[in-house]
Amino acid sequence: RPRRRPDVVLGDRGYDHDKYRRLVRALGVKPQIARRGTEHGSGLGIQRWVVERAFAHLHWFRRLRIRWEIRDDIHEAFLILGCALICWRRLKSLR
C-alpha cells in the first residue's frame, strides 16, 4: 500500500526553529509548532496529550518500557499485545 504523508505535523516548543519548519515544509507538510516565549494555550496540547497518554499506558508493561528483545518482530508482537490489552481494559471499564 502506498505511504501517505500527513497534512499537518504538531510540535512543541522544543522544535521551534526555522530549520525544522523548513525541513517539514520541504516534505510538503504544514508545520504547526508552538512558539517559544508565547503564552500557553495554543491548543496543541490537546492532541499531544492523547499521544503521551498512549505511551504512558504502554509503559504499564515492563517489557515494553525497556526494549529487551533483539528481534524486531518479537518486540512488535509484544507491542500489539499491549495495545490489545489496553483496548480490552478500556472497553471492559465502559460497561
Residue 56 lies in a domain: no
Q: Is residue 91 part of a domain?
A: no
Per residue in 51-66, pLDDT (tens digit) is 778 888 888 888 888 8
Inside any domain, residue 49: no
Q: Residue 1: is its pLDDT beyond 70?
A: no
Contact 82, 61 (CB under 8 A): yes
The DSSP letter of residue 11 is E
Residue 37, domain member (yes or no): yes
Note down the domain range covering 20: 1-42
Q: Helix, strand or coil for residue 10?
A: strand
Q: State how far the Cα of 88 lies from the Cα of 56, in Å rounded to an integer.
A: 16
pLDDT digit string, tens, across residues 17-47 = 899 999 999 999 999 888 887 776 666 666 6
* pTM for this entry: 0.52
Residue type, 11: G
Residue 38 lies in a domain: yes
Evaluate whether 15 touches 37 at the Cβ level (below 8 Å). Answer: no
Q: Is 59 part of any domain? A: no
In a domain, residue 32? The reply is yes
Helix segments in 16-71, DSSP class H: 18-26, 44-58, 62-65
At residue 36, what is the residue type? R
Q: How many structural domains compose the chain?
A: 1
Is 12 contained in some domain? Answer: yes
According to the model, what pLDDT value does residue 26 have? 94
